[in-house]
Structure 1
């Protein structure tokens, strides 16, 4: 598979030397060049791609940025216009979803004075979105590496779950383990919710303590080389009641049914319906969020398993499968894997066990 810069160039400008792409957002710059910085831009022409970086990042970018030529500048706009004039650019596509109105006006004015048309519609945003939905084999390996840290963290944390330990202490221990074992960061603010707090699907770890008979829901993920992982497991401290076990088994049934159904060509909304129908039968109104979302260079990407998304599953997509049941002021259960859509079905990138663990 061609590198990300080659793919977006081929899709939008081909060999047309009068067209160019300007990637201005921090996240998409890193996606195309694998270099993190909080300033600069990536200019892609038919002949060359330039990563414009100021003095703070120029040297580091020269060592590690990929798929581009690193170019320093003292005046950003002057250097950008110089490169565009060098290549005879007359039209440039920009990301409107990542630009403020003020920034868009600034670029449009500067380019217009040089006779360059600024394309401020969704052409570039949609092209990047479509490209990032389908992961390359190299991207899948990076997501799997991040998930391996997450799986290891799950095994690590189980002995720490004891009566009286706080949600916050558990979350901190998971984060410390991930960072110590190679993660550059956590993928998002980790969720650890025990007992009654488990009914809040995005609960913030607090000083609430684990008690006998509690479910503990842990939604965790690591970031490695810019790529994210996302996994949720719910475990029990002590023996659970028959009703708690039934809730857990219902969520697991829904989660596994989706794994059995995912394959290229099926609409994302159908996957949501499969899980929702199972849960609604005995627990109506307790599954209030969408089934899942794309994961990759960002923790929430495209497509989504939701009743609103009719996108067809395609080989190379990585999407979470995370049904849940939330009983207010009682407890909650969520089970989440990342699924890679394959040629004839899907493969879970998540290796942690899903049978109910009673500690």
Structure 2
């Protein structure tokens, strides 16, 4: 596939940077500090540009994880990570015009970021709610992979996955209602998983799936984003 190695390289930087960022996130750190640290990590790995309105890390803390906004309007806040809290991070590195796009949700319990195995060992209301949200994001990813085919349209996937979100008791928080987009060389050229987009998914070389959700009765938002592509008709994660 043309440019596959270029996209794989920049996405690998996003993934390793996210992992490194997890050791920095803890109680008392502000949203702005997380943005600055994330962008510093990306630059240390060779990233010189950020394709999403020059934002390297789109970060929200606590109940601000419910906020869905365009990068045109985003300004990181001084809100601090709490003792039991949640942080969403969306990275947008660019190298030689090739994009990475990768988002994850960090869970902070008793002041420190924990992985999913550690979270399962916790027994409090925060851990239960946070764990359920992470589980739902993974479940949506499985449903997405089971449904998506090259001949499906972006609209068909949008409708199917939004029904799945509702059936799981969650709400799509995206300000535009979409669930992902194609990877392009110019952000204005992106196609979205949205109503009315009858383009076939197989026509796109790379695309994201990035549901931004919250439980219908919950207080926090969750994000998980990866880049996908088809190889011999089979859906793969970059």
* TM-score normalised by the chain length of structure 2: 0.81
Residues 1:219 and 2:105 are matched in the alignment = no
CA distance in 2, matches of 1:299, 1:258: 23
Structure 2 unaligned spans of 5+: 110-121
Residues 1:283 and 2:173 are matched in the alignment = no
Corresponding residue for residue 155 of structure 2: 269
Corresponding residue for residue 168 of structure 1: 32
Corresponding residue for residue 235 of structure 1: 106
The structure showing larger relative contact order (alpha-carbon pairs under 8 Å, at least 6 residues apart) is 2
Do the aligned partners of 2:208 and 2:227 also contact (CA within 8 Å) in 1?
Answer: yes
CA distance in 2, matches of 1:183, 1:281: 40
Corresponding residue for residue 184 of structure 2: 296
* Max Rg structure: 1
Do the aligned partners of 2:154 and 2:193 also contact (CA within 8 Å) in 1?
Answer: yes
Do the aligned partners of 2:170 and 2:214 also contact (CA within 8 Å) in 1?
Answer: no
Structure 1 unaligned spans of 5+: 1-136, 350-359
1:154-178 CA distance string (max 9 Å, x none): 1111110111001111111111111
1:243-299 CA distance string (max 9 Å, x none): 332232222211221123222111111222232112112435444420110113134
RMSD: 2.1
Do the aligned partners of 1:197 and 1:329 also contact (CA within 8 Å) in 2?
Answer: no
Residues 1:343 and 2:232 are matched in the alignment = yes
Residues 1:195 and 2:72 are matched in the alignment = no
Corresponding residue for residue 79 of structure 2: 208
CA distance in 2, matches of 1:300, 1:142: 21
Do the aligned partners of 1:184 and 1:225 also contact (CA within 8 Å) in 2?
Answer: no
Q: Which of 179, 185, 206 is the equivalent residue of 2:43?
A: 179
Number of residue pairs aligned between Structure 1 and Structure 2 = 213
- Which secondary structure does the structure 1 equivalent of 2:3 belong to? helix
Do the aligned partners of 2:184 and 2:190 also contact (CA within 8 Å) in 1?
Answer: no
Residues 175 and 297 from structure 1, CA distance in 2 versus in 1: closer, same or farther, beyond 3 angstroms? same
